[in-house]
Amino acid sequence: MRFLTRSLIAVFLGALALGLLGFAGGMIRDTLEARASREDMPRTARERVFTVRVMSLEPGAVAPVLSAFGEVVSRRTLELRAPSAGRIAEIAPGFEEGAMVEAGQVLVRLDPADAVTARDLVRTNLAEAEDEARDAERALELARLDRAESDSQVDLRRRAFERQQSLSERGVGTAATVEDAELAFASARAALIARQQAEANAEARVASARTALERTRINLAEAERRLAETEIVATFGGVLSGTAAVAGGHVAGNERLASVIDPDALEVSFRLSTAQYLRLLDPEGALVPARAQIALDMGGVEITSPGWLSRAAPSVGEGQSGRLVYAQIEAPRGFRPGDFVTVRVTEPELPGVAMIPAAAVGADGGVLVLAADDRLEAATVEVVRRQGDQVLVQVGALAGREIVAARSPLLGAGIRVRPQRDEGTARIPAAPDLVTLDADRRAALIARVEQNTRMPEQVRTRILAQLEQPTVPAQLIERLEQGGGRQGG
């Protein structure tokens, strides 16, 4: 009895296993037949449409912006140097790198002992020269008085000689008396010549004394200047740079102690090519005072200041090319000499041009124009200027036409596109077209996505979630039905 029961159970289990195997084989057969029927369905070839961003060519007057790199330099710098060798006796408080100084402030004082001694010696020499000048003038007065007396003596001796001659002619006087009178007259004339010589010597002495006095006064002024130069002052307010003075230290003549830089008088020197420089000249050949913007990049934050072109270097440096141009900085706050900055110069306006992205123009000046039925056609424009990722082109006959803003190797003449137009950031974008799917179409799309082995898991999950919604975007359905969800081989 027990054997029979076990035999019946074994037969039942065997029959159940055979039934399950038959059911599984039927399911596999149905699946293979459904797959074969789907693969045998005819596929409709569709033209591939690319979505591109388009922009309109509108001619107008555009002022190009020329960019260059330059260095900030100071237009007003004072070098503090020791006028003579000596010891530094005193340094002003705050005499250090970056300190602010005022106009007329004493910054360094040298030991004035030698200068004071030299000035006092010159003052003594001046007193001696003044005394000598006074003595010479008194001697000149005496010499003139002596000469005047000699003139009187000569006149007196002449009249006496003439009287003796008259008496001798009338027979009253003797020849000896006439000879004595003549000798006296000759002696008086000789004395007058000696007095004239003495007067000339006195005048020369006065002139020499005056020259010596003037020379001594010049020496005194020089000594006082040297004494004043022991105090080194700032002639204008600014910032100290390159300080090298130490209290008690010895300095040599003309040794540099520091520099004073005016932080409000800064400019930028930058180099342009010859072609760029020529665009900044007026009809007379002079540099136009074009506006400029000076920008200093400080780790992602820019310090900017307006400015204008002031002048150009008169010559080209050895081994250099182009032109060196200077631009004054209107608001130099935050800038320092030596900063490496960007200069953006606004050039004169160009009429009848349009500014478009550089990616829209090919190397030969070709652009893709949107034609009828949203198809592309090739055209050519004249590139006037390139600046960064933008170009200026002559619009010509393409005025008002729409062009592709960014070319790609997939785009060309005759290709149909779906244009996207920039209509302002304030406009709310239109909602995508939604389609309600029936059960069969939804299941077919889900199966297509699940069988795509090349699709990333995150993308597959997102698409399946969209397909499970009551309404599905039409663009997604179109992409999947065109082959975007087929299984890779």
How confident is the model at residue 328, as a pLDDT?
Answer: 93
Q: Quick one: which of 290, 270, 286 has its CA closest to 278?
A: 286
Give the residue, 39 or 14, on which the prediction is more confident: 14
How confident is the model at residue 452, as a pLDDT?
Answer: 80
**Pairing mode, strands 417-421 and 50-56:** parallel
Q: Which residue has the tokens 């059911």?
A: 23
Given a cut of 60, whether residue 429 has pLDDT beyond it is: no
Cβ(260)–Cβ(240) below 8 Å: yes
51-102 residue pLDDT tens: 888 888 888 888 888 889 999 999 998 888 888 888 888 888 888 888 888 8
Given a cut of 70, whether residue 487 has pLDDT beyond it is: no
What ranges do the domains of the chain cover?
Answer: 52-63+350-421, 68-111+244-343, 114-228, 432-484
Find all residues with CB under 8 Å of 327, minimum gap 6, and list them: 70, 267, 268, 270, 292, 294, 307, 308, 309, 310, 343, 345
Find all residues with CB under 8 Å of 430, minimum gap 6, and list them: none
Question: What is the distance between the alpha carbons of residues 143 and 355, in angstroms, rounded to a whole number?
Answer: 98
Q: At the topology level of CATH, where does 52-63+350-421 sit? A: 2.40.420
**Pairing mode, strands 471-473 and 77-81:** unpaired
How confident is the model at residue 268, as a pLDDT?
Answer: 95
Of the CATH numbers 3.40.50.1100, 1.10.287.620, 3.30.450.20, 3.30.300.30, which one belongs to the domain with range 114-228? 1.10.287.620
How confident is the model at residue 269, as a pLDDT?
Answer: 94
How far is the first Cα of the chain from the last one, in angstroms, to the nearest whole number? 60
Q: Could you tell me the pLDDT band of residue 40, with boundaries at 50, 70 and 90?
A: low
Question: What's the average model confidence in pLDDT over 296-309?
Answer: 84
Indicate if the alpha-carbon torsion angle 57, 62, 68, 72 is positive or negative: negative
How confident is the model at residue 340, as a pLDDT?
Answer: 92
Indicate if the alpha-carbon torsion angle 319, 321, 326, 329 is positive or negative: negative
How confident is the model at residue 488, as a pLDDT?
Answer: 39
Question: What's the average model confidence in pLDDT over 107-118?
Answer: 89
DSSP string, 1-47: -HHHHHHHHHHHHHHHHHHHHHHHHHHHHHHHHHHHHHHTSPPPP--
Write down the mean pLDDT value for the chain.
83
pTM above 0.85, yes or no: no
- Tell me 167's DSSP state: H
Cβ(206)–Cβ(212) below 8 Å: no
